[in-house]
Amino acid sequence: MSDPSPPTAPLRRSDEPEVAVVGAGIVGLSTAYALLERGIECRVHEHGVPGNGQSGGVSRIFRHAHDDPRMITAAQASRAAYDEWGERLGVELVSGDGAVAIGPSVESRLPLLQEAGVAVRRIDAAELAARVPLLAGFDGPAMLDERGGSIRTTAAVEALTTALGGDRLVADEVLAVRPTSQGVEVRSGGRTDVYRRVVVCGGRGTAALARTAGLSLPVEQSAHVRLTFGVRDTAPRVLATLQDSSGAFGETGVYAAAAPGNTAYAVGLSETTLARDDASLPDPGALDALASRAAAYVRRALPGLDPDPVAVRHCWVTTLPWGEDAMAVWEAGGVLFPVGHNLFKQAPGLGRRLAAAVAGEGLDGLRPESRLGHDA
């Protein structure tokens, strides 16, 4: 496995690429970096700012907790890759503060995590208060995933983009990806390229590009809002991420992750507002309602935060019909189309599996028929 010399230096180009990655969100960047680990030269097509679409924002939750044990295994591999890449690139990619869950989901997920060998345990109200000191009192079911934490999203995107180097990035919109007898044609605004293999990591745009390759993906698109709130007083030394399914504070699907330095907490509801088939929103004002509910939750549940948000993030969500955390990879004539939701935590591991598939090792366990991430 190759290792860049200075941690912040771009990886040197070995030859002209036979492989392309479409999209420079976290999955696309992870896939490109994993390809270069294997010595496979690649080019990345991105029409916007890397990491500014569905990967945007300052933090995400890294958690091992899932209803499908296969997703737990995938998260373990991804956590190991985050550690390896962070050391190699000289940046912290996941905080060491842990991931806390409260509510009934603890009862169903804790045994699965323990069986998989994850460092997870029940915690009492006192330890909960120490791990999430911003939270109001709660004495119900709670668990700590010790190897969870807040993903440093901006740092991850910047480090991977720097490692790839600017000469591997093409700043142009891809209109079509078409398998031909000569290879896979990637047609963008100002050029047409032909590659041996292509991986489309286009987020909301993946389904549309799949249609140009003759595939119809069962992707449901919706929009989401996430608010960031400043910490009232001194930033706590430890601030774990939070998933709240309890309903004790008026909502049953809430998540929160800390910004670097623990000076702010990003809070959102798992609920989204459904988009039409053309990705337009029937009621854009529904996002205001979700934001209002998130702010009301903060006032009830997180008194350690200033109740007036300091930032807002609107983003698209792409889900598959068999589970909220589901992911799958479709293939057509040399093109791979990964799709899923909550993929930031899975990105390094998924990127390595996609790179392995490009290298001819197959898509074992990732194909749609595997229904990876199936809800319990």
Please check whether residue 9 lies inside any domain of the structure: no
For residues 28 and 128, membership in a common domain is answered with no
For residues 243 and 372, membership in a common domain is answered with no
Q: Please report which confidence band the pLDDT of residue 171 belongs to, taking 50, 70 and 90 as the band edges.
A: very high
Helix then strand then coil, % of the chain, to nearest 5: 30, 30, 40
Quickly tell me which residue has 């623990």 as its tokens.
Answer: 262
For residues 193 and 300, membership in a common domain is answered with no
For residues 178 and 89, membership in a common domain is answered with yes
Q: Please report which confidence band the pLDDT of residue 375 belongs to, taking 50, 70 and 90 as the band edges.
A: confident
Mean pLDDT of 18-37: 98
For residues 375 and 330, membership in a common domain is answered with yes
CA quadruple 120, 144, 103, 150: dihedral, nearest 10: -120
The CATH number covering residue 329 comes to: 3.50.50.60
For residues 376 and 234, membership in a common domain is answered with no
For residues 118 and 169, membership in a common domain is answered with no
Give the span between the Cα atoms of 186 and 174, in whole angstroms.
7
Please check whether residue 90 lies inside any domain of the structure: yes
Mean pLDDT of 203-209: 95
Q: Could you tell me the pTM of the whole model? A: 0.94
Residue 2: per-residue pLDDT? 44
For residues 43 and 90, membership in a common domain is answered with yes
**Which among 304, 319, 334 is the end of a domain?**
319
For residues 376 and 336, membership in a common domain is answered with yes
Q: pLDDT tens digits for 108-141?
A: 999 999 999 999 999 999 999 999 999 999 999 9
332: containing domain: 14-96+149-218+322-376
For residues 73 and 171, membership in a common domain is answered with yes
For residues 135 and 263, membership in a common domain is answered with yes
Residue 5: per-residue pLDDT? 41
Q: How far is CA 327 from the centre of its chain?
A: 11
Residue 28: per-residue pLDDT? 98
Mean pLDDT of 218-235: 96
Please check whether residue 7 lies inside any domain of the structure: no
Domain tally, the chain: 2
The CATH number covering residue 287 comes to: 3.30.9.10
Residue 279: per-residue pLDDT? 84
Please check whether residue 155 lies inside any domain of the structure: yes
Please check whether residue 6 lies inside any domain of the structure: no
Q: Tell me the three state secondary structure of residue 347.
A: helix
For residues 225 and 300, membership in a common domain is answered with yes
